[in-house]
Structures are given as C-alpha cells and as structure tokens.
Structure 1
Amino acid sequence: MKNILYISLFLLGLQQVSAQHFTRKDTLQGGLRHERTSFDVQRYDLNIKINPEERTIIGYNDITFKIAEPTKKIQIDLFDNMKVDSIVFNMKKLQYKRDHHAVFINFNEMMQPGTEGKIRFYYSGKPLVARNAPWDGGFVFKKDTQDKPWIGVAVQGTGASLWYPVKDSQSDEPDFGSSVKVAVPNGLMNVSNGRFLGSEDLKNGYTRWDWEVKSPINTYNITVNIADYVHIHDTYKGLDLDYYVLRANEEKARKHFEADVKPMMDCFQSKFGTYPFKEDGYKLVETPYLGMEHQSAVAYGNKYMKGYLGNDLSFTGVGLAFDYITIHETGHEWFGNSVTSKDIADMWIHEGFTTYSETVFIECTQGYEKAMKYINGQRLNVQNDKPIIGAYGVNNEGSGDMYYKGSLMLNTLRHVLNEDEKWWALILKYSETYRHQIIDTETVVDFFNKESGLNLTPIFNQYLRYKNIPVLEVRQHKKNVQIRWKTDVANFEMPVEYTLDGFVSRINATNNWQSLPKKTNLDKVAFNKTKMFFSISK
C-alpha cells in the first residue's frame, strides 16, 4: 500500500495541471512576449537576508542584461505576495506596473540593441510556504533534531519568482553565471549553487554566506539551504565532491554517499560525457524535503535509505540496490540542468531522459538483464492519461507519464536501433552537442533522426503527443499469423521481436496487416514486450 501511495504522490504531485483552461496569469508566466524576448539576461547577483523566525526575505537582485530588440519596457517576475521596494537603473528609480506575478518595468528612453545595463531590484516579503515540497513549490521551514532551523526551497514548475525577482522562463539563462549571497542568523550556514567564496559576520547577529556559479543555470535551480551543516569534502578523478549534511548525520552520510556517488559518476560520465558543471563542483545538500535537481547543489532528503524512501518504484527489488534520489536528481545535471527545455511543456526532455538514467546506472552496475527488469517494472507507473507534451506558452507541463513513459520510449528507441554501440554513441553525442543549451522537442527528434539514419518522428509523436501507446494487433488469418500497429499517428512503423519454434526473429510492422514469414498458428508465437513499450490486442 505504501508503494502505491508514494507513486501516486510522486506522479500526481509533480504534475498538478488543470484542464485546458488557461488565464492571463498563465500566459504572463509561460509566454514569450516582446517584454521578455527584447532582452537577454547576462547575470544574476542575489543579495538577501532570510529571517527564519519571521519567515521573511529582504534584499535585492542585480540583473545584468543585454538588449536584443528595441524596447522601452521589460518584464521581470515576482510573485504578487512579495513586495517591490524599488527598482534602480543608472542611479535612478524606474517606474513599474504589476500584473499578477509580472512586473513591467519602464525605462526612461528607448533601449537599443547591444545596450548592456544592470537594474537593482529591491524586494521583501514572506515567500509562499510549500504544503508538500517538492511536489508543490515554496519554502520549507523545519527544525532539526537539535531544534535548530532547517530551511530549503523547491520551485520547479511553480516558478523561481516565488522568492526572488527574475525573468522566470526556461528560455533564458544567465550567460555568465550568478552569485547568491545569503545572510542567516549566526550559528547557521547557507549553502547555494556553485563554489563557496567565503562568509562575513555582519555584526548584527547575521553571517552572510557567498556562493558563485560560473555556468549558465536554470532559474528554478538557484537555491538556498539553511541549517547547522557539516561539510564533507572529497575528490574523485579530478572532480570535487562536497556534501553538506546535518551535524547529527555526518558519519552516516560519509558511508552512504560513498556507496553510490563514485560509481554513478563513472557510469554517467562514460555514457553522457564529462560532468557538465565541473568548474562549479558537485554537491549533495541535505534538505527537509525529498529532493530536487538544484544545479551543483543537488537537494537530498531520502534519509540515507536505498530505493525511494525504502521503496522500489519498479516493484522488482532491483531499485533497492541504490539511493533513488542521489541517482535520479544527479542524472538531471546532464538532462534538465545542462540540456534544458525552452518551455516546460517539453519537460519530458528533463524527466524522460533522467528517469532513463536510472536504468543506465543499473546497467552499468548490475548488467543488462537487471536493467531491463527494472525499466519494465516501471510500466506499472504509466497512466496513459493525456499527452506527455503540455500546452506551450502558458506554463503548462504535460502528463506525469513524462517520467516512466518517457524512459520506456527511450528504451524502445534503443531497441528499434538495435545496435548498442551506435545507441550509446548517439546518447553521448546528444548530451555533448546540446551541453549548456536550451532546446525543444523538434530539436531532439531531428537529432535522433539524423544520427540514427531512421525516420523516428512517428514513434516520437505517438509516445509524446498522444496518450495511447502503440497497440500490436494480432490475428490468425487462415494459416498465417498477421500483425499491424494500431496508432493515432499515420504511417507508423516499428519493428517487433517474436519467438517461433525456438528461434527469435524480428519484423518491421506497419499500420497495414502483414503476415509473419512462416505459416503457423497464433498460439505458437510469442511477442517480446521487454525491449519495446507497447500492448497487444488479439
């Protein structure tokens, strides 16, 4: 019963999307109007104070930008429960107008392409508190076992503008990194993304902790983690490994992370390329919620257990051999953090590939058969409730099937290709080609078509744009067994493997009836569903 409950929360919580009814608020958050596309963010420099007792934030964000199109107005986002104190440009306060979570800022003159500048956006307020992070966005204010504050934030899908002013769109990442400076009460530490630059006692009961990110970063990945942390440092093959854990968990953490992190890095770097944020280092940070893929500061809250809080989301037992949160959230460093979707409607680019990385890790450490057992066990989690791709331009994610169905689609493509050496070369080249880039579904499909030499578009379309998986219709026609694919997509082709008289064969099935090469009875043919994700109708 617990397994079912956890999976329901995991799938439904991450994808709380209403029916196809969208408001102005949705388009303001998800759309790319002129006020957003007219400027390119170069850098964010966040400098704030967080008061754990009052649950407040006060400070500013320096937003460095470059004008791309002539404009007199730009859009910066900040949730409407947060207060705009002032916005300063060239030593002068700017006028602005709020519309839901959008803040439209007016310059005093037309800004021309190529112009570079910086606004300082002062703000304050009480950010929203999550009811059940990370499935709904917001801050988490808890206490550790020593009754000291333990604070985190997770805002994927909800929006980074929940807690700081930002161009809240995955279409634009700061080109030249960011800094996060957070003042917290003395005796506590803040851990954010990138490298630690140092701390400063502000002589007012607060210490400011300064962090610097050199790589481009998704806005929802910028984070704060506040607690009485202990720092554990390690290195592996030239990569810095840092763990920030609650003081009471130091010994447990040392042993636990050693078991998975180094084998994981060996596997992922061999399959997906060099860790994408080496200059920012790799961190796991213990959080008061389950986890999140915060770039170079991965949130970890799996309580030092194997599986998913001690459960196996594949129902096979294979998933109990590793810490799900460590593997899954780190997989996002390649898929989601490095390779990023332009619109959250295409979030399968993050979640499908990352869920598949779990299977890749199992294959690296336990072999192909266990990997296939694991990924096929995940079939039970697929709902086939609606398309994986959501509606564009309205901050709308598609079905939660982007996780398991997305992963099973990739496993299907591997076996359509049917050449492992070519498959792993394709996956590696994909990860490296779009390293630190923002892409869309069409880009992925075009790449896979080109590198495979096959027309995979109908397969991608069936799994991503329709709720149904392919159905292999099978019938006895006189002395022949006949098959065809039933799909929403026209001109669908996909091979299928079958066993007859002890021999394994493969045939390219289409939407038209065709006979297996050898005359036989239907009860003598077994179709293999472990390599490809489809159902059978007889």
Structure 2
Amino acid sequence: MKRASIVTVTKSFALSILPLVMLTAATLPEKGQPPLTAQTMRSGGPIDPDQAKLHFDLADLAIAVFPKTETIEGTATLTFTAKAPLDKLVVDLDRNLPVSAIAIDGTPLARSAWSNPEGRLIIALPHPVETGGKVVARIRYDGTPHVAVNAPWDDGMVWSQTPSGKPWAASTDEGYGCDLFWPCLDFPTGEPGRVDMHITVPAGLKAPGNGVLQGVTMLPDGRTTWNWSITHPNTYAIALNVGPYAELTGSYKSRYGNTIPMQLWYLPSHKAGAERLFSEFAPTLDFFEANIGPYPFGAEKMGVVETPYLGMEHQTINAYGNHYKPGIEGFDWLFQHEFSHEWFGNQLTAANWDDYWLHEGFGEYMQPLYARWRSGEALYDYLMQKMRVQIANKVPIVSGKVLTEEQVYEGSDGGPGGDIYYKGAWVLHTLRNAIGDKAFFDAARRLVYGRPDPKPGNFAPRYGATDAFVKIVDQVTGKDYGWFFDIYLRHAALPELEQQRAGDRLTLRWKAPNGKPFPLPVEIQVNGKLRKLAMTGGSETITVPADAHIVIDPYDRDLKRSERVERLRAWQASH
C-alpha cells in the first residue's frame, strides 16, 4: 500500500497560527472536568426546529491537539443547504470550547452576533438564506475538552501515556455527542455528507483518522498535520487519536471484486499482539461479506487504532483497547464487535436512538454467529448462554418515543441499558431460528443496504428504524411477524411457555404479556426424537406416550421466561 508522503510547507492552516493555551501540570483537568451542561450531555432526542432546517453538506475540521496542556484548538468550516428559510444558524458545541471568531460566507461577524450559554451555538446570519441556498460558517474555537471518567462508557478525551512515557490520547463521544470536540448537529440524522480533517500533533506523534489519508504536512515548528477525508460519517464516529504509533498495512481481495486497504495503528511495544490481531482482519471481513454484504467503506479503508480505553465504532478507524487478549471465542471479541458496527451503526444508522438495538443487538449477535461460522454450533450455543443470563427485562427495548442516547443506554435514566445488546441478540437468535438462515440474512442485508443485491458502488450509508425492519421481515418471509416484534421489543416481560401433561396428552401454551397472541413454533424432544409444533393460535396439544421423556425447546432456540435464569440473577443480585 502506498504511504502518504511528508511535505514541508509554510503554515497553511488557521489552527497553526492560533495562540497556544499555556497550562501548567497543576492545572490539568481531572476526570469528569471541565463540567458539562445538560445540553451538551444530551445527544439526539427531538430535533431543534432551527437545526431541522439544515442539510449538512460538508465539514472541514482543522484541529490541533496539545497533550502537554490537554487542550485543543480548532477551525471548523461548515457548509449547509437550507431546507427552509434561515435567519440564524444553530449548531451544537460544548461551551468549554469558547468561540473566538466566526465568519459567514467569508464575512467576519461582530462578537455580538453569536452566543453559546448552554452548549448550543446560535449565530445570527448577516442576511437571510432562502430555501435551497447555501451558507458557509467558519468557526474558530479552543479550550479544554471534557475528560472522560470511564471511557468508553463515559465520554470525552482520554489523556494517557505509552509504556515509554510518550503522549497517548484518544476521544470518544457516543453518549454525549460530537459537540464535545467540534461544532456539529448532535443527532443521528445530522451526518455531514463529507468530513475533511486536518489533525495537528506534536513532533514524533501520529494522528490516525477516519477515511482516506490525503497526506501529511510538516510544519516549521516540527509538528505534523494529518489530512483525512471521510464520506457520510456517523456523527459520533469522528475521532481524534494521537500517539507514537507504528502501522501494519495490507489489502483484502473481496469476494465482490474490489480490493480493500487494511490498516492497524498500534504502540510499537505491542507489535506481537498487533500482528496476531491483524491476522484476523481478512477472515472477519470474509465472514461479514459472505453473510451480510460488501464492506460498506471499501473505497476508504478498514482501519483499527489502539486506544487507551476499551473500544468504540469510529467509522473506518475503530478504537481498540482489549490488550490483544485471547478468549474462548478463538478470536478477539472486542475487535469483532466494534467492526460489526461498520455495518450496524455506520452503514445503517438508527434515525432515532429509540432504535439503538439495531446497532447493538446486531453488533452483539455477530460474535456468536462468527463463532458458529468458524467453529460450529457448540461454541455458538455457549456464547448465547453467556448472554442469556445478562438479560434484565426491566423495560421494553423500544419505547415508540424520540429519545436521547442516554435515555436508552442508561438504566438509571429508565432505559433498557444492556438489554439492547443481550436481549437484542436473543431476539435475533429467536428470529433466525423461526424464519431460517436464508430469510434472516436476506432481511439483515436489506436492512443494512436498502436493497437485496448490494455491490460496491450501488449503495450509500442510510438510516433505519425498527418498524422498517419489521416490514422487511414480513416481505422476505411472506408472513406477518408484527406479533413477534411487538412482544419482544415493546414489552419488558418475556413470553412464558406453559406446559400441561395428562396421561398421553401434552399441551403447550404461550402466555404473552397482556394476553397478546404469540404463535411462535416450538421444538420438543420426545424420547430423543425431535418434533416441531406449529403452535397455531399460541397453543398445541399432542399425544405422547404416558411414560415419555419430554424436553421442551431442547436447543434453546426461543427467548422465553426461564426460572433457572431468574434464580441465578436473583442470587447474583444478593451476593
């Protein structure tokens, strides 16, 4: 793979002439500082009416990172098309990054033309913009970004050091949103059409980024600017990564005929582990391409960067911090999970966080499916059982409301929390066993690409929703599965499979929440022989030998209430 050349030029970016913010070690922010407003911590939810008028065409982000002072300086040039008449421009930006200058369409504004009291930057336009008109805002800002408490579950910058004592830093912002680092539209459908990034870092450090590397610029003071470009990035997928990285590169010849660049950026002291992880790239790509469809960003790259926190699905530069640990899976589950989000999260993005399970349920389910692909049913079943005991069933996975990310992800905010992962995966497990592999993967493919025949070049990143997936499943199967998704996604309690045996008569009956219909077929084993009951109407009675040994759902194909799981969870909660 051709590497970008390093060229010495004069100071060409606005960020390179901004004054440095000088802080001493004693004033470096602690974890959780500087504090955030409620507005900045809010990502998604109902869209501000003024922001709903904007189509985000392009973001050009020049960001300088200063590890010694734990500060950043940026110039963001944002291009929008008006979907309705505009008299002001409203974007999200953490007030810990104060704005020093704004120009609209090249005309500088007076300081009185903007305000940002709570993390929403409101800019009075010097002239109205009609529907279909363009507006370009150039925003200069600097400051101390919020420091994550426990990344990636808590968002912000992670400032660290390598084992050799060199600076090592990375960002993560899925929960609180893109406004922690740059002025953006902080909701899922606020994706820019393209983002060009120019990340400037101290001498000796590198800045792996999203998309395609356009070149590396050497500045007169020894710093370097890493220039990247990415198409249709997820709003929380734009990442800052800074460190003394080494790089592994290669290429993957896809079964779809294209060649995909592969890059792994790692700390030099971890070379052996990095090489083992890199060897997993091609087989993992092949699994997804064989079962879901073409890698969505093959024209850019498959990229992974080692980070000082566990991981995150940053588009084409996934964060990895699992320490290259081996696991029972036979592959690195963290790498595989984050990579799955290139399909379920980045190519397919939930338009409303209420449908977040489409990201995490599918993302979680890909690990046992990959284990099955590699090693067979036994390992698949083991990994599914590990997930089964983590399902809480406290609230429905889908509420039918427009929600923020935190309202879904945090159980303390009344959200389903971990159930979007584990219950979501088990819903998909049950669905696959109900409709069969062909229909299941066909439905997943249509959900991800919006078409049944994806090929490189005939699809683009898209938005999805639960109701759309239900319609796809109905279309693929030719049957109505609304009852299935209604019970599993819109109710907290699981259906219960009741059984009654009298002499040679065995009756099975589904008891679903609120007495709703639930005609899910059930397998039973009678004296070692497998039978499948249609359960039409939600129940079925069959004749069996009076002394027969009966095992209900012997392969645990159906998500249902389980007394053994409830006993275990109750014991765990009390110890």
Question: Which residue does the alignment assign to 1:17?
Answer: none
| Separation in structure 1 between the aligned mates of residue 175 and residue 368 of structure 2, nearest angstrom | 25
From 538, 549, 558, give the equivalent of 1:524. 549
Shift of residue 293, structure 1, vs aligned partner:
0.7
Q: In structure 2, do the counterparts of structure 1 residues 24 and 336 end up closer, same or farther at CA, with 3 Å as the change threshold?
A: closer
Shift of residue 164, structure 1, vs aligned partner:
1.1
Structure 1 residue runs of 4+, over 6 Å off?
A: 23-28
Q: In structure 2, do the counterparts of structure 1 residues 44 and 374 end up closer, same or farther at CA, with 3 Å as the change threshold?
A: same
From 558, 561, 568, give the equivalent of 1:535. 561
TM-score (norm 2): 0.83
1:424 aligns with 2:449: no
Counterpart secondary structure, 1:191: coil
1:457 aligns with 2:485: no
Question: Which residue does the alignment assign to 1:324?
Answer: 333
Q: In structure 2, do the counterparts of structure 1 residues 252 and 537 end up closer, same or farther at CA, with 3 Å as the change threshold?
A: closer
The answer to whether the 8 Å contact 2:188/2:353 transfers is yes
| Separation in structure 1 between the aligned mates of residue 523 and residue 117 of structure 2, nearest angstrom | 56
Aligned length: 501
Report the AA paired with residue 187 of structure 2. Answer: S
From 119, 127, 136, give the equivalent of 1:118. 136
Question: Which residue does the alignment assign to 1:358?
Answer: 367
Further displaced range: 231-240 or 195-204: 195-204
Alignment of 1:373-452 (within 5 A): 373-389=382-398, 391-395=401-405, 396-397=407-408, 398-399=415-416, 400-417=418-435, 419-433=436-450, 436-452=461-477
Q: In structure 2, do the counterparts of structure 1 residues 521 and 41 end up closer, same or farther at CA, with 3 Å as the change threshold?
A: farther
Question: Which residue does the alignment assign to 2:521?
Answer: 495
| Separation in structure 1 between the aligned mates of residue 247 and residue 42 of structure 2, nearest angstrom | 42
Q: In structure 2, do the counterparts of structure 1 residues 25 and 161 end up closer, same or farther at CA, with 3 Å as the change threshold?
A: closer
Alignment of 1:120-135 (within 5 A): 120-135=138-153
Alignment of 1:156-305 (within 5 A): 156-175=174-193, 177-213=194-230, 215-237=231-253, 238-258=259-279, 260-305=280-325
Q: In structure 2, do the counterparts of structure 1 residues 265 and 75 end up closer, same or farther at CA, with 3 Å as the change threshold?
A: same
| Separation in structure 1 between the aligned mates of residue 462 and residue 159 of structure 2, nearest angstrom | 34
RMSD: 2.3
- CA deviation map 1:410-460 (0-9, x unaligned): 01001111x323333333333332751012211111111111222212211
| Separation in structure 1 between the aligned mates of residue 547 and residue 173 of structure 2, nearest angstrom | 52
| Separation in structure 2 between the aligned mates of residue 537 and residue 476 of structure 1, nearest angstrom | 19
Shift of residue 172, structure 1, vs aligned partner:
2.3
Further displaced range: 225-234 or 520-529: 520-529
1:32 aligns with 2:47: yes
Report the AA paired with residue 337 of structure 1. Answer: N
Question: Which residue does the alignment assign to 1:4?
Answer: none
Report the AA paired with residue 442 of structure 1. Answer: D
Report the AA paired with residue 311 of structure 2. Answer: G
| Separation in structure 1 between the aligned mates of residue 118 and residue 43 of structure 2, nearest angstrom | 8
Q: In structure 2, do the counterparts of structure 1 residues 411 and 114 end up closer, same or farther at CA, with 3 Å as the change threshold?
A: same
- CA deviation map 1:233-272 (0-9, x unaligned): 11121111111111222243123321x2111111111011
Question: Which residue does the alignment assign to 2:75?
Answer: 60
| Separation in structure 2 between the aligned mates of residue 148 and residue 524 of structure 1, nearest angstrom | 65
Gaps of 5+ in 1: 1-22, 308-316
| Separation in structure 2 between the aligned mates of residue 105 and residue 486 of structure 1, nearest angstrom | 56
Counterpart secondary structure, 1:127: coil
Question: Which residue does the alignment assign to 1:70?
Answer: 85
TM-score (norm 1): 0.88
Question: Which residue does the alignment assign to 2:532?
Answer: 506
1:144 aligns with 2:128: no
Gaps of 5+ in 2: 1-37, 254-258, 409-414, 452-459, 565-575
Further displaced range: 278-287 or 461-470: 461-470
| Separation in structure 2 between the aligned mates of residue 424 and residue 402 of structure 1, nearest angstrom | 20
| Separation in structure 2 between the aligned mates of residue 142 and residue 473 of structure 1, nearest angstrom | 55
Shift of residue 277, structure 1, vs aligned partner:
0.3
Shift of residue 524, structure 1, vs aligned partner:
3.3
The answer to whether the 8 Å contact 1:473/1:536 transfers is no
Q: In structure 2, do the counterparts of structure 1 residues 350 and 394 end up closer, same or farther at CA, with 3 Å as the change threshold?
A: closer
| Separation in structure 2 between the aligned mates of residue 200 and residue 66 of structure 1, nearest angstrom | 31
Question: Which residue does the alignment assign to 2:376?
Answer: 367
Further displaced range: 32-41 or 472-481: 472-481
Question: Which residue does the alignment assign to 2:569?
Answer: none
Counterpart secondary structure, 2:207: strand
The answer to whether the 8 Å contact 1:480/1:515 transfers is no
Q: In structure 2, do the counterparts of structure 1 residues 523 and 110 end up closer, same or farther at CA, with 3 Å as the change threshold?
A: farther
Shift of residue 523, structure 1, vs aligned partner:
7.1
- CA deviation map 1:95-144 (0-9, x unaligned): 22335222222223332221122111211110111111111001000000
The answer to whether the 8 Å contact 2:43/2:186 transfers is no
Among all aligned residue pairs of Structure 1 and Structure 2, give the percentage whose two residues are the same amino acid.
Answer: 29
Further displaced range: 70-79 or 293-302: 70-79
Counterpart secondary structure, 2:116: strand
| Separation in structure 1 between the aligned mates of residue 219 and residue 283 of structure 2, nearest angstrom | 41
Report the AA paired with residue 307 of structure 2. Answer: T
Shift of residue 478, structure 1, vs aligned partner:
6.5
Counterpart secondary structure, 1:327: helix
Report the AA paired with residue 281 of structure 1. Answer: K
Q: In structure 2, do the counterparts of structure 1 residues 108 and 412 end up closer, same or farther at CA, with 3 Å as the change threshold?
A: same
